[in-house]
Amino acid sequence: MKNLSYILNVVLIAFIGYMAYSFIYDGNVATGTEDRTAVVLTSAEKAEVLGEMRGLLETVQAVINAATSDDVASIPEIVKPYGMAAVEQESVQLAAKLPLELKTMGYDAHRAMDALGEMAANGASGEEILSTLGGAMGLCVSCHGTYRFVAEEDVK
Ligand code: HEC
């Protein structure tokens, strides 16, 4: 009897360990015919992250405009809402559904926005800003190549 409960404990601990691992690393994903991994969110969460994405695109456009029209001084204000400050608004539930790799790339993208603001505040030239932005946009490209968002209402 003792042996059995020992074995059950080992199984239970292994299961809890696996759940913790998959909670942290995998997030909530579904597999499909597409190469990109589908991250399953509620439709409200999907709308929220896509809205954030459109904001990122607008920010990139505004930074390019500022950098090419001698208005580097306006960049810190432009990027502010999309720096790490944006991450603090995200819910724990949403964060738990995002795979670690996606979250890391996402945080790096927000950090890159803060870095552009700092560069601009420290007197970087428009060209230096554009070059750093170009590099940071590699994050947009690689994340888009790897993941897509689907609403859970659409997978069932
Ligand atoms: C951490 C991953 C990640 C990063 C980094 C990222 N995106 Fe996205 N983005 C996504 C995913 C996933 C989608 C949804 C694609 C899909 O479902 O087909 C998306 C969608 C979008 C959309 C479409 C929004 C809509 O309304 O459908 C835009 C625009 C966009 N991203 C812009 C950007 C820009 C610009 C950057 C970089 C400054 C960026 N994204 C960085 C993951 C990311």
pLDDT in tens, 103-113: 999 999 999 99
DSSP one-letter code for 31: -
Atom 25 of ligand 1 has which residue's CA nearest to it? 50
Q: Which tokens hold the place of 65? A: 């405009």
Q: What is the spatial distance between Cα 134 and Cα 60, in angstroms, rounded to a whole number?
A: 10
Torsion sign over Cα 30, 151, 45, 77? positive
28-155 carries CATH number 1.20.120 = yes
- Residue 57's identity, in one-letter code, is L
- Residue 119's identity, in one-letter code, is M
pLDDT in tens, 95-132: 999 999 999 999 999 999 999 999 999 999 999 999 99
Which of 45, 144, 155 has most ligand 1 atoms within 8 Å of its beta carbon, as the pocket-test mutant?
Answer: 144
Torsion sign over Cα 98, 99, 103, 105? negative
| Closest ligand 1 atom, residue 146 Cα | 12
pTM of the model: 0.84
